[in-house]
Structure 1
Amino acid sequence: MTVLVLLRHGRTGYNAEGRLQGSLDVPFGAEGREQARAAAAALHAEYGVPDRIVTSPLRRAADTAAEISAVTGVPARPDARLTQRSYGAWEGLTWDEVRQGWPEDYDRRLRGQDPRIAGWGTAAEVSARVAEGLAEACEGARLVFAVSHGSSIMLGSLALLGLDVESTVLGKLEHGRWNVLESSPGHWSLAHYGHGPASSLAESLPEAD
């Protein structure tokens, strides 16, 4: 059996402001660093040393993974397939700005659907690449830590679990918290959801990752 721990990166200033980051490489600040260190210590205490650590190459994820590497001694391998979805023209904007400029697409997003804007990473596209990267990381491994982003973790998890990737059944994962998936031959299951010592202010909108 393989245990896959999916950790969301530490909180950034854009997260606090409700700005969509997507492919923007926004680093986290003091709060995010504290969340990353707390998560790293908790993961090590609960699960021990992983066989592999993989991470999105975006700094907010890679810096979170670096905190885990510092505790476990396992180097983190960046994988572009784990990066956050692109938000196209919405990147850098607040949700109020999105609502004012794209009211119909904003409503679609609130319903969990892909907006019809240029550059948006669709659920189908993102779930496929994230699931591929995660499955590859788990090959021949007993325990894998993967650091990624809210939407990417949700979509990749849905794909591995064989669920509708447009479903909202998994809900929101807070910064510095993790989900745990377990695999047996030909089957993935969700063992834990939203674990972790860190917490952040709840966001009422779909995502700002």
Structure 2
Amino acid sequence: MTVLVLLRHGQTEYNAEGRLQGSLDVPLGEHGRNQAAAAARAIVDGYGVPDRIVTSPLSRARDTAAAVGALVPVPVTVDRRLRQRSYGEWEGLTWDEVKLRWPRDYERRLRGEDPQIAGWDVAAEVSARVSEALAEACDGARLVVVVSHGSAIMLGSLALLGLDAHATTLGKLPHAHWNVLATAHGGWSLARYGLSAAAAD
């Protein structure tokens, strides 16, 4: 059996301002660093020492993963496939700005569909690359901690669970929260959802 802890990075200043980050490399803010430290302690206390810690290359995820790595004798490995999807020409904008300038594509996004804008990473492609990275990270391991991004975690999880990339079943994972997937006999299941350091206390 493999237990996979999927941790979303801590909050950035862009997150606090409601700006879309996507592929932009925005660092953690002070609150995000505190969130990362608390989440790391809760995960290690709750699950023990992981066999592997794997992270997106973006600094907000790497620094969150480093908080976990600081508590255990396990190196942090970077996998580019775990990066956040690109939001194309929406990156750096607020949702209000997006709604004003691209009303139809904004509505498509609200329905869980891919907007038809330049540079957007479509769900099916993100789902495929993230799930591939997750499966490889878990190969032969008992416990794996992966640090990534909201959309990337959701889309990769949907693929492992055999669900459509446009399904809204898993909703939105808050910053420094984590989901737990488990596998036995070749199939994945969602064991826990939306956990946080506060919930673990």
User: Would you say same fold, with TM above 0.5?
Assistant: yes
Deviation string 1:32-78 (CA, Å, 9 cap, x unpaired) is 00000000000010001000000001000000000000011211100
**1:87-123 CA distance string (max 9 Å, x none):** 0000001011111111100000011100001110111
Q: TM-score, normalised by structure 2?
A: 0.97
Contact 1:175 1:198 in 2 (8 A): no
- 8 A Cα contact 1:179 1:194, kept in partner: yes
Q: Which residue of 1 aligns with 2:61?
A: 61
Matched residues, percent identical? 71
Instruction: Provide structure 1 residue ranges, at least 5 long, that are not aligned to the other structure.
Output: 200-209
Cα distance in 2 for residues equivalent to 1:7 and 1:124:
21
Aligned to 2:180: 180
**What is the root-mean-square deviation of aligned Cα atoms in Å?**
0.9
Counterpart in the other structure of 1:155: 155
1:75-114 correspondence runs (5 A): 75-114=75-114
Q: Secondary structure at the match of 2:182?
A: strand
* Unmatched tracts of structure 2, length 5 or more: none
Number of equivalenced pairs: 199
Alignment of 1:1-150 (within 5 A): 1-150=1-150
CA-to-partner distance for each residue in 1:115-161, whole Å, 9 max, x for gaps?
00111011101000000000000001000000000000000000000
Contact 1:176/1:196, CA 8 A, preserved across alignment = yes
Structure 2 distance, partners of 1:24, 1:172, is 19
Aligned-partner residue type, residue 172 of structure 2 = K
- C-alpha separation between the residues in 2 aligned to 1:102 and 1:76? 39
Separation of aligned partners in 2, 1:19 and 1:49: 35
CA distance in 1, matches of 2:23, 2:68: 23
